[in-house]
Structure 1
Amino acid sequence: MPSSGPQYGKCRYCRQRFERTGKPGRKQEYCTPACRRRAQRERSRNTPNTAQPVDSPLPLARNIAESVQALADGLLAAEYDEQDLALLLGRAAELTREVEYYVCAAVHDARIQGAGWDTVAAAASVSPATARSRWAGKTVRRRLERRASERPAARPRDAAGHAVQARPDGQQAGQPGERTSGKLAAALSHLHRSSGLTIREVADTMGLSPSYVSRILSGERVPTWPVVVILADLFDGDPDELAVLWENAQGLTPPARRPLPDAAARLNSALRGLYLAAACPSPARIHEASGGALSVPTVKDILAGRLVPDWKTTVAFVRAVGGTPADIRPLWEAVHYAFLVFLDPLPDGAEPPSSPAPDRDAGAAREKHPGQDGLTP
């Protein structure tokens, strides 16, 4: 006959002897629920990463976050292009799905780094049981595999859903995940190549290490503005053409209100900065990259600062040189705002937002409205 006395076991986690409860079912292996949770957490840490899709580097969430940013940029560009509601809602739905995939990946990364379900639950404002059922390893793997099947390799598409043109330098424009710091690095690299200086010569002149200069030119490091100015001068370039690229890389928001000449000059410098980042393609190549939307004379006038284009023309130029229209929109709107202020000045005694434009610019400003056929400064 089986013994009716107490039964004892050794806890698999703390190795302490404990009295089993004697309840029917699987034999009790841990002395307390806390020891069972700690053991499960250690197994999760030490078990190979079965939830991670093959060939997907950690952290998964960072890669998906870059895709989220690209989709958000596409939605904003579609708004600026005044696309129809069906396309806008389709973009929004795609962005929503990608955000949901990001949440799965972010929880997965946290679990791999040792976060318990209590921590995940607190971060997501759900119960531990809900967190475990919603983001268990097999569930996350299945969702990310579905994401991979939904996103077959394809050429990037513009706001209207059309495949984008190749950039004049042979690369595709608008690649998802392309960082704004890459534009600054591309522009500096082009100026560096044109200068004929070696990285060692640049480093010695500036008193920096060659490796640091190399990281700046490759986009691994975003330099301070004084360093950008020195590099531009050293390479025989114009620092003003790099200012907006540097601000975008730093996530800075410039003042919105400027006098008309300053706003127009700043927009032109930003467009020339993107032109530098594309390795200064010829106007004919920009014409081709725009799908014929930009004539060669128009491209020359934009680059020379003789024309502030309307928004449609600005978008065509920016995309043709591999830029993101959403990055340029605030600068274009600043010109538009300054022009409206010039046409409708503030009442007597009111403080103007900035100094008035010189007369020579005022006469030209009357020629065209920037929101219509373009403004000739």
Structure 2
Amino acid sequence: MEGTSPRHEECRHCQEAFVQKEGPGRKKAYCSIACRQKAQRQRDGRSAQRARAVHPLGRHIAEDLQVLVASLLEVEYDGQPLKILLRTAEEVVREVECYVAAAVRDARNKGADWGSIAADANVSMTTARTVWAESKVRRQLERRAADRAKRRPRAETAPPEGLGSEQGGVLSKASERASAKLASALSYLHQESGLAIKAVAQHTSLSPSYVSRILSGERTPTWSVLCTLVRLFGGNPADLRVLFESAHGLMPLTRHAVPDAAERLLAALQGFYLAAGRPEYGLVRRASRGVLTTQDIRDILEGQMVPTWEATAALVSALNACPADIRPLWEAVHYAFLVCLDPVPHESVVPRPDSG
């Protein structure tokens, strides 16, 4: 019909005007097939971003990074050799690089464009696109996951200085057992406290997922985190000190004064007792198969008596722990006691012959 002008619509993708077709049928929403395809890809990308945003990539790495940084502080305080300090620092650097890459991907998943990311990172847009391309970050995080699967935490896999591979393997097994007992003790204290995981997370500024992994034994906490949790649960961190050191493969000095050695032995026994759920003394007596009396158990766990090795092994076995793991602590007590009774003379002192 003459005088009828074509009707124009705005493309939903590029916002450019286009001529809308006349007649029956579904009306066009886009000016071209290319715009329609681009709009579909954007919708698919937004759906994927919403799904990924539920589980941020960076958060899990940040939790592991917290543990790794704490381990760096621990080896520094422990006076470890430079080689150990630098190795731990290198692990921290690698983990930071993975975290940065994951944080950028999280920002992209939330809809941030490369311009804003480049500005926040103080780099050019070309550098941002190149360094943190999705495929590159994915490969980086896949390598990280593969490396972590190949090895256990550093303290468990690397034998301390002076230990051979066979001794290191024994230490690793002992560390695994100590880590499991530590998790059991924390789980028992948590149940006794009656606190929900979410409440624990709020009080400690840890994420609920990280708290759950600690209580399940999937993660061994740092000493500061352990103290915070134990105090929140109403327990005494000193009871778990030896278990914590064993779980991390830390090698204490082999020589202690009698009070210190006895205190470490008592802490280990109390840690095993806590990990077993603080059973009644009568149940422990029956599990010891008659080696211990109820009074013996009370005196040992309350620090009133230093037990013989037979009594120590019976108590540890009754608490479902391994006696071999505590043998060095028991020997340290008795070594220190014997030295007090018969001290080794100083090299500069020449013993005087008997007058008789």
Using the size of structure 2 for normalisation, the TM-score is: 0.47
More helix by share: 2
Using the size of structure 1 for normalisation, the TM-score is: 0.45
Q: Which has the larger radius of gyration?
A: 2
